[in-house]
Each structure stands twice: as C-alpha cells, then as structure tokens.
C-alpha cells in the first residue's frame, strides 16, 4: 500500500482545540480539498494560460492555511494505481499521440505470438542493419532512434482519433479561480481533456461517417489484433530499406543480409520470430501506404535528397526544351531567309562570272 497521510490530521488542528467531532471532520475534508488546490506557484499572474491550473471555489482558504495537508497527500478513497507509470492508459495515450504527431515514417506489423527471445533476436539484427546504413555528411544519426515497439492496439486507435479529429487550438479558454482567489483564464486543451473526448466522440459517432479518404478511416482496419510499430524519426528511405531487408525481405529489391555477413540473422530463433512478424502497412507523412507503397518509399534512390535531385533535373530538362522550342521558329526563319539569300545570290554570281568570261574571250 502507498503511504497515505504522513501527518495525522490532529497535528494540523492543534490551534483549533475547541472544534467538536462533527465540525472537525468537515474542516479536515475542506482542508484536504484545499490542499489539492494549492500549488502556490500557480497563483502568480505571470502564469501562461496554456499551463494546467487548479480551479477552486474556496476563498476561505486563507483562514484555513494552517490546516494545509502535505502535498503528497493521497485520499484514501482514490489510492494510486498499481500499474507502472509507462503503461497507464493516460500515459500510453500521451505517448501515442506525441508519437503520431512527431513520427513521419512508421511501419505497422502484425506479430503472432512472438516470444521474448525472438523479439530480442529481431531487435538485435535490426539494430545491426540500421547501424550499417551510411549517414550522409551533416545529417544526424537516426539509427539509434529507430525502434520496434509493440503497441496497445486500442489505445493507439484512440490516439489516432485524437490526432486526426481534435484540434487543440479550437478550444475556448474558460475562467477559473486560483487558490488565492484570483480569476484567470485557463485552456484545457490537452489530449486527455474533455474537449478532446467530445471531439473524437462526435467524429466517430454512429450517425456521422468519417470520410473514406481520411487517414483514420484508412488506417483503422489495420489496427486489429496484436500490432507492432517500427518508428523512424525522419523520412529516410535508406534506413527504411535496411529495415525492410531484415523484417520483410524481397529477393531483388530488399535482399536479406548474407549468411557470412550476419550469421545471427539465420539463427533459428531469429528466423522463427521473423516468420511470425508480418508487415501489413505503413504511414508516411500522414498518408497511408500498403506493403507495395512502403517498398516504393524504401526504393527511392538517395532518399529525399535523391527525389529533390530528380525534380531539379526534370525541371532543368523541361526548361531547356522550352528554350529550344521558343528558339526554333526564329532559327528556322533565319535559316530559310539565309538559304533564300544564298539561292538568289548564286545566279547573280554566275551571271557576273559569265560576263567576265565573255569579256576575256
């Protein structure tokens, strides 16, 4: 059990010795209420409106400041959860929404009963392959940031809805009262807020239909059963190609590493794991791709830089073609005129030459 109350309630009440039993209980309740609403730093007027604040309806607090409970007081009716912090639903939702907002390239896998040793083998081989990807000069090394993680599918689905249908900037600020009695405007627009809940409920209610083209509608059929994500923090086709070579190899495009180069990949444990892991789709820059689409992204030579170079080359060739086309009529007119001039000049020359010959003879 967690520590409940360090300081027994009586010690705060020493000054008020005349309080009878019933009223004493009420005071303790009010004090415990106020203690939760008393972050002293929040009462300053310089607090930005986007930070979380506690509103309170108790200006009587000043008179009860001596009855303040410790900051880590836990009410006995709401004991803290026994779940570790990183797998609590609230924390998972925050993690997944930030993941969805910040990760441009993610691959979605279905994993069918992989055991821990198989996961370990797959992650080991994946890290080895990613570390071997050459990083161009000046760009950060993302290989260590790429990770293969098992997700809680339903929570991820909710997070996807929050990211898709909820716009935090539309939430109107509300007025609240700080512990010291000052009125401030507060905006509750975080991903766990009531407005976020209302937004996703309204978007996915049975009456309203989400458009087929929306990324959520496209991605939600994939989020069934046990799923895992490979998240790559930038759109880097080189890293994607390396990952595909390990996780879902294709003979010519994304060949699996050779037996001599990485014998660990042909380890029976790793192979057994890879057989049970299947790539079902991906999400690139908010757009949904199937396996062939992901292979296309992985096959872009030179990555984004390569695509830019291709575009520049294409635009240049178009420009040259245009210049050539515009020049052509002028050039052909000049050629025609020039040839005509030559044609006209030649008989004259011949005539002149003939006259000269006649004169000489």
Partner 1 sequence: MITRFITDVTTRFNPFSTKAKAARLFLTFLPPNARSNGMNITTQLLPRTSAEPSTLHVKFKDGKEMNLDCETMGIKNLVEEVDRHSRILQKQSDLND
Question: Is the CB of 32 or the CB of 220 nearer to partner 1?
Answer: 220
Question: Is the CB of 115 or the CB of 313 nearer to partner 1?
Answer: 115
At its nearest, how many Å lie between partner 1 and the CB of residue 148? 18
Q: Which stretch binds partner 1 (CB under 8 A): 72-80, 105-113, 231-239, 312-320?
A: 105-113
Stated as kind and residue range, the H or E segment containing 343 is: helix 303-360
At its nearest, how many Å lie between partner 1 and the CB of residue 291? 6
What are the angstrom distances between the C-alpha of 135 and each of 140, 302, 305, 322?
Answer: 8, 11, 12, 37
Instruction: Considering only residues 197 through 236, tell me which ones interact with partner 1, judged by CB under 8 A.
Output: 218, 221-222, 224-226
Of residues 9, 133, 291, 307, which one binds partner 1 by CB under 8 A?
Answer: 291
Under rule CB under 8 A, residue 286 binds partner 1: no
Under rule CB under 8 A, residue 275 binds partner 1: yes
Under rule CB under 8 A, residue 110 binds partner 1: yes
Distance, in Å, from the CA atom of 31 to the CA atom of 66, rounded to the nearest integer, reads 9
DSSP per-residue string spanning 190-258:
STTSHHHHHHHHHHTSSSS---TTSHHHHHGGG--SSEEEEEESS--HHHHHHHHHHHS-BTTTBPPPP
Q: Are 75 and 194 contacting, i.e. CB atoms less than 8 angstroms apart?
A: no
Of residues 7, 29, 90, 115, which one binds partner 1 by CB under 8 A?
Answer: 115
Question: Is the CB of 146 or the CB of 219 nearer to partner 1?
Answer: 219
Q: What is the DSSP letter of 53?
A: -
Count the residues of the shown chain that bind partner 1, applying the rule CB under 8 A: 23
Bridge partner residues of 356 (DSSP): none
Under rule CB under 8 A, residue 112 binds partner 1: yes
| Site residues for partner 1 per CB under 8 A | 110, 112-115, 118, 218, 221-222, 224-226, 272, 275-276, 278-281, 290-293
């Amino acid at each position: 059990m967690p520590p409940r109350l360090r300081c027994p309630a009586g010690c705060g009440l020493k000054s008020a010795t005349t309080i009878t039993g019933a009223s004493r209980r009420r005071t303790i309740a009010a004090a415990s209420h106020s203690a939760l609403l008393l972050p002293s730093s929040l009462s300053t007027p310089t607090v930005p409106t986007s930070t979380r604040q506690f509103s309170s309806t108790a200006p009587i607090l000043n008179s009860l400041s001596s009855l303040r409970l410790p900051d880590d007081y836990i009410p006995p009716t709401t004991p803290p959860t026994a779940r570790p912090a990183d797998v609590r639903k609230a924390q998972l939702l925050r993690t997944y929404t930030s993941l969805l907002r910040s990760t441009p390239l993610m691959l979605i896998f279905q994993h069918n009963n992989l055991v821990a040793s198989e996961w370990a083998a797959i992650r080991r081989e994946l890290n080895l392959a990613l570390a071997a990807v050459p990083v161009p000069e000046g760009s950060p090394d993302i290989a260590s940031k790429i990770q293969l993680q098992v997700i809680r599918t339903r929570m991820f689905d909710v997070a996807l809805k929050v990211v898709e249908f909820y716009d935090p900037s539309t939430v109107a600020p509300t007025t609240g009262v700080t512990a010291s009695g000052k009125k401030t405007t507060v905006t509750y627009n975080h991903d766990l807020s009531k407005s976020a809940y209302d937004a996703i409920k309204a978007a996915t209610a049975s009456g309203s239909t989400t458009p087929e083209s929306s990324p959520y509608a496209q991605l939600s059929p994939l989020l069934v059963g046990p799923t895992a994500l490979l998240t790559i923090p930038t759109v880097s086709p080189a890293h994607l190609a390396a990952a595909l070579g390990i996780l879902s190899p294709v003979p010519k495009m994304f060949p699996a590493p050779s037996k001599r180069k990485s014998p660990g990949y042909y380890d029976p444990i790793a192979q057994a794991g890879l057989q049970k892991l299947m790539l079902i789709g991906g999400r690139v820059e908010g757009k949904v791709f199937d396996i062939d689409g992901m292979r296309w992204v992985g096959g872009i030579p030179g990555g984004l830089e390569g695509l830019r170079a291709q575009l520049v080359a294409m635009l240049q060739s178009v420009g040259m073609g245009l210049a050539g086309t515009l020049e052509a009529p002028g050039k052909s007119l000049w050629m025609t005129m020039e040839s005509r001039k030559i044609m006209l000049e030649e008989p004259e020359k011949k005539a002149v030459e003939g006259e000269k010959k006649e004169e000489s003879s």
